[in-house]
Amino acid sequence: MTVVCDDDSDELALNRQLCFALYAASRAMTKAYQPMLKDLNITYPQYLVLMVLWEWAQKGDEAEKNKSLGALGQRLMLDSGTLTPLLKRMEQRGLVRRRRASWDERVTLVEATDSAMALKPRARTWVQQQLQLSSITRAEVVELHGDLWHFLQKLGSETAR
Amino acid sequence: MTVVCDDDSDELALNRQLCFALYAASRAMTKAYQPMLKDLNITYPQYLVLMVLWEWAQKGDEAEKNKSLGALGQRLMLDSGTLTPLLKRMEQRGLVRRRRASWDERVTLVEATDSAMALKPRARTWVQQQLQLSSITRAEVVELHGDLWHFLQKLGSETAR
DNA sequence: GCGATTTATATTGTGCACAACTATATTTTG
DNA sequence: CAAAATATAGTTGTGCACAATATAAATCGC
Protein backbone atom coordinates (compact mmCIF):
# COMPACT_ATOMS: atom_id res chain seq x y z
CA MET A 1 0.00 0.00 0.00
CA THR A 2 1.30 3.40 -0.96
CA VAL A 3 0.75 6.27 1.42
CA VAL A 4 0.57 9.62 -0.33
CA CYS A 5 2.33 12.13 1.89
CA ASP A 6 3.77 15.40 0.63
CA ASP A 7 6.73 16.89 2.40
CA ASP A 8 4.81 19.61 4.18
CA SER A 9 2.50 17.23 5.97
CA ASP A 10 4.41 17.61 9.20
CA GLU A 11 4.95 21.35 9.00
CA LEU A 12 1.24 22.19 9.36
CA ALA A 13 0.19 19.19 11.43
CA LEU A 14 -2.24 20.43 14.03
CA ASN A 15 -0.51 18.68 16.89
CA ARG A 16 2.75 20.45 16.14
CA GLN A 17 1.27 23.92 16.03
CA LEU A 18 2.16 26.12 18.98
CA CYS A 19 -0.88 28.23 18.15
CA PHE A 20 -3.20 25.28 18.72
CA ALA A 21 -1.43 24.19 21.90
CA LEU A 22 -1.95 27.70 23.30
CA TYR A 23 -5.55 27.79 22.16
CA ALA A 24 -6.34 24.38 23.61
CA ALA A 25 -4.46 24.96 26.87
CA SER A 26 -6.14 28.29 27.44
CA ARG A 27 -9.60 26.84 26.96
CA ALA A 28 -8.79 23.81 29.12
CA MET A 29 -7.62 26.14 31.87
CA THR A 30 -10.83 28.13 31.65
CA LYS A 31 -12.79 24.91 31.99
CA ALA A 32 -10.76 23.92 35.04
CA TYR A 33 -11.87 27.16 36.73
CA GLN A 34 -15.57 26.54 36.08
CA PRO A 35 -16.43 24.98 39.45
CA MET A 36 -15.12 28.05 41.27
CA LEU A 37 -16.64 30.48 38.78
CA LYS A 38 -20.01 28.80 39.08
CA ASP A 39 -19.76 29.02 42.85
CA LEU A 40 -18.91 32.74 42.68
CA ASN A 41 -21.48 33.19 39.89
CA ILE A 42 -19.12 35.04 37.58
CA THR A 43 -17.48 34.33 34.21
CA TYR A 44 -13.80 33.79 33.54
CA PRO A 45 -13.12 37.25 32.04
CA GLN A 46 -15.04 38.78 34.95
CA TYR A 47 -12.70 36.90 37.31
CA LEU A 48 -9.69 38.38 35.53
CA VAL A 49 -11.21 41.84 35.94
CA LEU A 50 -11.75 41.16 39.63
CA MET A 51 -8.11 40.16 40.08
CA VAL A 52 -7.08 43.58 38.80
CA LEU A 53 -9.67 45.42 40.88
CA TRP A 54 -8.62 43.46 43.98
CA GLU A 55 -5.07 44.68 43.41
CA TRP A 56 -6.27 48.25 42.88
CA ALA A 57 -8.31 48.20 46.08
CA GLN A 58 -5.14 47.59 48.05
CA LYS A 59 -3.41 50.60 46.59
CA GLY A 60 -5.64 53.15 48.26
CA ASP A 61 -6.81 56.34 46.61
CA GLU A 62 -3.52 57.94 45.68
CA ALA A 63 -3.44 56.17 42.32
CA GLU A 64 -6.99 56.96 41.20
CA LYS A 65 -5.62 58.23 37.93
CA ASN A 66 -4.65 54.68 37.02
CA LYS A 67 -7.94 52.99 37.84
CA SER A 68 -9.71 53.66 34.58
CA LEU A 69 -11.30 51.40 32.01
CA GLY A 70 -8.34 52.11 29.79
CA ALA A 71 -5.85 51.06 32.46
CA LEU A 72 -7.87 47.90 33.04
CA GLY A 73 -7.75 47.23 29.34
CA GLN A 74 -3.98 47.62 29.28
CA ARG A 75 -3.55 45.12 32.10
CA LEU A 76 -5.86 42.56 30.49
CA MET A 77 -5.00 43.47 26.89
CA LEU A 78 -8.68 44.03 26.15
CA ASP A 79 -10.37 47.01 24.53
CA SER A 80 -13.48 48.98 25.38
CA GLY A 81 -15.54 46.90 22.97
CA THR A 82 -15.06 43.97 25.31
CA LEU A 83 -14.80 45.75 28.64
CA THR A 84 -17.67 48.25 28.44
CA PRO A 85 -20.46 45.65 28.18
CA LEU A 86 -18.66 43.27 30.54
CA LEU A 87 -18.35 45.98 33.21
CA LYS A 88 -21.98 46.96 32.73
CA ARG A 89 -22.99 43.38 33.46
CA MET A 90 -20.76 43.36 36.54
CA GLU A 91 -22.28 46.67 37.64
CA GLN A 92 -25.76 45.19 37.30
CA ARG A 93 -24.63 42.31 39.48
CA GLY A 94 -23.36 44.78 42.08
CA LEU A 95 -19.71 43.80 41.66
CA VAL A 96 -18.27 47.07 40.38
CA ARG A 97 -18.92 50.80 40.46
CA ARG A 98 -18.37 52.96 37.38
CA ARG A 99 -18.10 56.75 37.41
CA ARG A 100 -16.61 59.51 35.31
CA ALA A 101 -13.35 61.06 36.48
CA SER A 102 -13.87 64.62 37.69
CA TRP A 103 -10.51 65.64 36.22
CA ASP A 104 -11.30 64.25 32.75
CA GLU A 105 -14.83 63.55 31.63
CA ARG A 106 -13.63 61.06 29.03
CA VAL A 107 -12.28 58.67 31.66
CA THR A 108 -14.42 55.97 33.27
CA LEU A 109 -13.12 54.96 36.70
CA VAL A 110 -13.81 51.41 37.84
CA GLU A 111 -13.67 49.92 41.33
CA ALA A 112 -14.72 46.77 43.15
CA THR A 113 -17.66 46.90 45.56
CA ASP A 114 -17.56 45.32 49.02
CA SER A 115 -19.52 42.46 47.54
CA ALA A 116 -16.72 41.89 45.01
CA MET A 117 -14.02 42.20 47.67
CA ALA A 118 -15.78 39.45 49.63
CA LEU A 119 -15.15 37.01 46.79
CA LYS A 120 -11.39 37.33 47.01
CA PRO A 121 -10.69 34.97 49.94
CA ARG A 122 -12.98 32.35 48.42
CA ALA A 123 -11.09 32.52 45.14
CA ARG A 124 -7.73 32.41 46.89
CA THR A 125 -8.65 29.36 48.94
CA TRP A 126 -9.94 27.50 45.91
CA VAL A 127 -6.86 28.27 43.80
CA GLN A 128 -4.53 27.13 46.58
CA GLN A 129 -6.46 23.92 47.09
CA GLN A 130 -6.53 23.10 43.40
CA LEU A 131 -2.78 23.46 43.11
CA GLN A 132 -2.30 21.15 46.09
CA LEU A 133 -4.72 18.54 44.77
CA SER A 134 -3.15 18.69 41.32
CA SER A 135 -0.36 16.49 40.07
CA ILE A 136 1.13 19.64 38.58
CA THR A 137 3.96 20.97 40.72
CA ARG A 138 4.40 24.58 41.68
CA ALA A 139 7.75 24.51 39.89
CA GLU A 140 6.12 23.40 36.65
CA VAL A 141 3.59 26.20 36.92
CA VAL A 142 6.28 28.79 37.56
CA GLU A 143 8.38 27.57 34.66
CA LEU A 144 5.53 27.43 32.17
CA HIS A 145 4.36 30.83 33.33
CA GLY A 146 7.82 32.27 32.82
CA ASP A 147 8.17 30.76 29.36
CA LEU A 148 4.74 32.04 28.36
CA TRP A 149 5.47 35.52 29.59
CA HIS A 150 8.79 35.57 27.79
CA PHE A 151 7.06 34.40 24.61
CA LEU A 152 4.36 37.02 25.04
CA GLN A 153 6.96 39.78 25.32
CA LYS A 154 8.70 38.74 22.11
CA LEU A 155 5.42 38.31 20.24
CA GLY A 156 4.24 41.70 21.44
CA SER A 157 7.40 43.50 20.43
CA GLU A 158 7.21 41.92 16.98
CA THR A 159 3.56 42.48 16.15
CA ALA A 160 3.96 46.08 17.32
CA ARG A 161 6.30 46.78 14.44
CA MET B 1 3.83 56.01 54.90
CA THR B 2 2.21 52.70 55.68
CA VAL B 3 1.38 50.42 52.81
CA VAL B 4 -1.55 48.16 53.55
CA CYS B 5 -0.77 44.80 52.04
CA ASP B 6 -2.32 41.56 53.25
CA ASP B 7 -0.37 38.36 52.88
CA ASP B 8 -2.36 37.01 49.95
CA SER B 9 -1.65 39.98 47.72
CA ASP B 10 0.91 38.05 45.75
CA GLU B 11 -0.98 34.79 45.52
CA LEU B 12 -3.72 36.20 43.31
CA ALA B 13 -1.68 38.86 41.52
CA LEU B 14 -2.74 38.84 37.90
CA ASN B 15 0.77 38.73 36.57
CA ARG B 16 1.52 35.55 38.49
CA GLN B 17 -1.51 33.67 37.28
CA LEU B 18 -0.79 30.91 34.80
CA CYS B 19 -4.41 31.13 33.69
CA PHE B 20 -3.94 34.73 32.59
CA ALA B 21 -0.61 34.04 30.89
CA LEU B 22 -2.31 31.31 28.84
CA TYR B 23 -5.29 33.52 28.08
CA ALA B 24 -3.13 36.45 27.02
CA ALA B 25 -0.66 34.36 25.03
CA SER B 26 -3.41 32.57 23.16
CA ARG B 27 -5.08 35.82 22.16
CA ALA B 28 -1.75 37.39 21.21
CA MET B 29 -1.01 34.40 19.02
CA THR B 30 -4.38 34.71 17.32
CA LYS B 31 -3.63 38.35 16.62
CA ALA B 32 -0.25 37.44 15.15
CA TYR B 33 -2.05 35.22 12.62
CA GLN B 34 -4.43 37.97 11.50
CA PRO B 35 -2.46 39.15 8.45
CA MET B 36 -2.50 35.63 6.99
CA LEU B 37 -6.11 34.99 8.01
CA LYS B 38 -7.21 38.24 6.42
CA ASP B 39 -5.36 37.28 3.26
CA LEU B 40 -7.06 33.85 3.18
CA ASN B 41 -10.34 35.46 4.27
CA ILE B 42 -10.97 33.00 7.10
CA THR B 43 -11.10 33.18 10.90
CA TYR B 44 -8.70 31.59 13.33
CA PRO B 45 -10.97 28.70 14.37
CA GLN B 46 -11.71 28.10 10.70
CA TYR B 47 -7.96 27.85 10.09
CA LEU B 48 -7.69 25.22 12.81
CA VAL B 49 -10.51 23.28 11.15
CA LEU B 50 -8.70 23.51 7.84
CA MET B 51 -5.50 22.11 9.35
CA VAL B 52 -7.42 19.01 10.38
CA LEU B 53 -9.20 18.72 7.04
CA TRP B 54 -5.89 19.13 5.21
CA GLU B 55 -4.54 16.18 7.19
CA TRP B 56 -7.65 14.12 6.48
CA ALA B 57 -7.44 14.82 2.77
CA GLN B 58 -4.05 13.11 2.69
CA LYS B 59 -5.39 9.95 4.27
CA GLY B 60 -7.55 8.98 1.33
CA ASP B 61 -10.97 7.44 1.67
CA GLU B 62 -10.17 4.40 3.76
CA ALA B 63 -10.71 6.30 6.97
CA GLU B 64 -14.02 7.93 6.13
CA LYS B 65 -15.43 6.67 9.37
CA ASN B 66 -13.15 9.07 11.22
CA LYS B 67 -13.92 12.20 9.21
CA SER B 68 -17.05 13.24 11.05
CA LEU B 69 -17.99 16.38 12.88
CA GLY B 70 -17.53 14.45 16.10
CA ALA B 71 -13.99 13.41 15.16
CA LEU B 72 -13.21 17.00 14.23
CA GLY B 73 -14.54 18.09 17.59
CA GLN B 74 -12.31 15.60 19.37
CA ARG B 75 -9.21 16.87 17.59
CA LEU B 76 -10.01 20.51 18.30
CA MET B 77 -11.71 19.89 21.66
CA LEU B 78 -14.80 21.71 20.43
CA ASP B 79 -18.42 20.59 20.51
CA SER B 80 -21.21 20.69 17.96
CA GLY B 81 -22.51 23.95 19.40
CA THR B 82 -19.36 25.61 18.11
CA LEU B 83 -18.63 23.49 15.06
CA THR B 84 -22.05 23.21 13.44
CA PRO B 85 -22.51 26.94 12.76
CA LEU B 86 -18.81 27.37 11.99
CA LEU B 87 -18.91 24.60 9.38
CA LYS B 88 -22.09 26.01 7.89
CA ARG B 89 -20.33 29.32 7.38
CA MET B 90 -17.37 27.54 5.81
CA GLU B 91 -19.76 25.60 3.58
CA GLN B 92 -21.35 28.87 2.45
CA ARG B 93 -17.89 30.13 1.61
CA GLY B 94 -17.24 26.98 -0.45
CA LEU B 95 -14.48 25.70 1.83
CA VAL B 96 -16.06 22.47 3.07
CA ARG B 97 -18.62 19.90 2.06
CA ARG B 98 -20.99 18.40 4.63
CA ARG B 99 -23.02 15.25 4.08
CA ARG B 100 -24.66 12.56 6.13
CA ALA B 101 -22.90 9.21 6.40
CA SER B 102 -24.72 6.50 4.50
CA TRP B 103 -23.84 3.98 7.21
CA ASP B 104 -25.22 6.15 10.02
CA GLU B 105 -27.64 8.95 9.37
CA ARG B 106 -26.70 10.68 12.60
CA VAL B 107 -23.12 11.29 11.45
CA THR B 108 -22.12 14.41 9.53
CA LEU B 109 -19.05 13.85 7.37
CA VAL B 110 -16.87 16.87 6.66
CA GLU B 111 -14.25 17.38 3.98
CA ALA B 112 -12.23 20.19 2.44
CA THR B 113 -13.07 21.39 -1.08
CA ASP B 114 -10.42 22.00 -3.74
CA SER B 115 -10.74 25.66 -2.91
CA ALA B 116 -9.81 24.91 0.69
CA MET B 117 -6.92 22.65 -0.36
CA ALA B 118 -5.55 25.52 -2.42
CA LEU B 119 -5.08 27.58 0.74
CA LYS B 120 -2.69 25.11 2.31
CA PRO B 121 0.56 26.08 0.51
CA ARG B 122 -0.16 29.76 1.14
CA ALA B 123 -0.58 29.08 4.85
CA ARG B 124 2.53 26.92 4.99
CA THR B 125 4.68 29.56 3.31
CA TRP B 126 3.44 32.28 5.61
CA VAL B 127 4.01 30.23 8.77
CA GLN B 128 7.54 29.32 7.68
CA GLN B 129 8.38 32.93 6.85
CA GLN B 130 7.04 34.23 10.12
CA LEU B 131 9.17 31.83 12.13
CA GLN B 132 12.24 32.90 10.18
CA LEU B 133 11.52 36.60 10.60
CA SER B 134 10.81 36.15 14.27
CA SER B 135 13.33 36.49 17.08
CA ILE B 136 11.76 33.38 18.54
CA THR B 137 13.88 30.32 17.84
CA ARG B 138 12.56 27.02 16.62
CA ALA B 139 13.93 25.43 19.79
CA GLU B 140 11.93 27.82 21.97
CA VAL B 141 8.77 27.01 20.05
CA VAL B 142 9.35 23.27 20.37
CA GLU B 143 10.05 23.51 24.08
CA LEU B 144 7.05 25.69 24.87
CA HIS B 145 4.88 23.48 22.72
CA GLY B 146 6.05 20.39 24.59
CA ASP B 147 5.49 21.98 27.99
CA LEU B 148 2.02 23.12 26.98
CA TRP B 149 1.07 19.71 25.69
CA HIS B 150 2.36 18.06 28.84
CA PHE B 151 0.39 20.51 30.94
CA LEU B 152 -2.72 19.92 28.84
CA GLN B 153 -2.48 16.16 29.37
CA LYS B 154 -2.28 16.55 33.14
CA LEU B 155 -5.07 19.08 33.25
CA GLY B 156 -7.24 16.89 31.07
CA SER B 157 -6.69 13.79 33.15
CA GLU B 158 -7.57 15.71 36.29
CA THR B 159 -10.70 17.52 35.16
CA ALA B 160 -11.93 14.23 33.71
CA ARG B 161 -12.21 12.79 37.22
C1' DG C 1 -39.00 -7.13 17.17
C1' DC C 2 -39.69 -3.45 20.43
C1' DG C 3 -39.33 -0.22 24.22
C1' DA C 4 -35.42 1.90 26.74
C1' DT C 5 -31.04 3.67 26.46
C1' DT C 6 -27.24 5.58 24.21
C1' DT C 7 -25.06 8.24 20.59
C1' DA C 8 -24.37 12.06 17.12
C1' DT C 9 -25.65 16.24 15.77
C1' DA C 10 -28.38 20.45 15.83
C1' DT C 11 -30.57 24.35 18.28
C1' DT C 12 -31.00 28.07 21.66
C1' DG C 13 -29.34 31.56 24.59
C1' DT C 14 -25.55 34.10 26.95
C1' DG C 15 -21.21 36.22 27.08
C1' DC C 16 -17.12 37.24 25.40
C1' DA C 17 -13.37 39.16 21.61
C1' DC C 18 -12.51 42.23 18.28
C1' DA C 19 -12.74 45.14 14.05
C1' DA C 20 -14.73 49.23 12.58
C1' DC C 21 -16.99 53.19 13.60
C1' DT C 22 -19.02 57.10 16.42
C1' DA C 23 -19.25 60.60 19.96
C1' DT C 24 -17.27 63.59 22.98
C1' DA C 25 -13.71 65.62 25.75
C1' DT C 26 -9.05 67.18 26.01
C1' DT C 27 -4.64 68.65 24.19
C1' DT C 28 -1.80 70.59 20.78
C1' DT C 29 -0.68 73.81 17.31
C1' DG C 30 -0.56 77.59 14.06
C1' DC D 1 -7.76 81.24 20.86
C1' DA D 2 -9.85 78.55 17.07
C1' DA D 3 -8.87 74.52 14.35
C1' DA D 4 -6.83 70.26 14.07
C1' DA D 5 -5.15 66.35 16.24
C1' DT D 6 -5.42 63.11 19.85
C1' DA D 7 -7.41 60.45 23.59
C1' DT D 8 -11.07 57.84 25.86
C1' DA D 9 -15.25 55.30 25.85
C1' DG D 10 -19.16 53.65 23.82
C1' DT D 11 -21.70 51.35 19.86
C1' DT D 12 -22.51 48.03 16.20
C1' DG D 13 -21.99 43.79 13.89
C1' DT D 14 -19.82 39.21 13.30
C1' DG D 15 -18.09 35.00 14.94
C1' DC D 16 -16.80 32.08 18.21
C1' DA D 17 -17.26 29.04 22.94
C1' DC D 18 -20.09 26.63 25.68
C1' DA D 19 -23.98 25.13 28.74
C1' DA D 20 -28.38 23.32 28.29
C1' DT D 21 -31.67 21.31 25.65
C1' DA D 22 -33.88 19.06 21.63
C1' DT D 23 -34.08 15.75 17.90
C1' DA D 24 -33.43 11.75 15.65
C1' DA D 25 -30.95 7.52 14.58
C1' DA D 26 -28.73 3.40 16.22
C1' DT D 27 -28.08 -0.10 19.72
C1' DC D 28 -29.20 -2.91 23.66
C1' DG D 29 -31.91 -5.93 26.68
C1' DC D 30 -35.26 -8.90 26.70
Give the distance, in angstroms, between residue B97 CA and nucleotide D22 C1'.
25
Q: What confidence category does residue A5 fall into, taking pLDDT thresholds of 50, 70 and 90? A: very low
- Degrees to nearest 5, angle at CA B87 with B108 and B26: 125
Q: Do you know the residue count of chain A?
A: 161
> Can you tell me the mean pLDDT for A142-156?
93
Q: What confidence category does residue A160 fall into, taking pLDDT thresholds of 50, 70 and 90? A: low
Measured to protein CB atoms, the chain C nucleotides within 7 Å are 7-13, 15-20, 24-27
Which letter does DSSP use for residue A101 in this model? E
- Which of A51, A140, A144 shows the shortest C-beta gap to B14? A51
The CATH fold assigned to B33-154 is: Arc Repressor Mutant, subunit A (1.10.10)
Distance CA B70, CA B67 (A): 8
Q: Which residues touch strand C (CB under 7 A)?
A: A 43-46, 77-82, 85-86, 89, 104-106; B 27, 30-31, 34, 68-70, 73, 79-81, 83-85, 87, 98, 104, 106-108
Question: Residue-wise pLDDT tens for chain B (161 aa)?
Answer: 444 444 445 678 888 899 999 999 999 999 999 999 999 999 999 999 999 999 999 887 777 888 999 999 999 999 999 999 999 999 999 999 999 999 999 999 999 999 999 999 999 999 999 999 999 999 999 999 999 999 999 988 877 65
- Degrees to nearest 5, angle at CA A142 with A141 and A146: 115
Distance CA A43, CA A40 (A): 9
- Is the CB of A152 less than 8 angstroms away from the CB of B127? no
Task: Give me the percent of chain A exceeding a pLDDT of 70.
Answer: 93
End-to-end CA distance of chain B: 49
What's the pLDDT at A7? Answer: 47
Give the distance, in angstroms, between residue B153 CA and nucleotide C18 C1'.
30
* Residue range(s) in chain A whose domain bears CATH number 1.10.10.10: 33-154
Q: Which residue, among A11, A44, A131, A16, has the nearest Cα to B27 in the 3D structure? A: A44
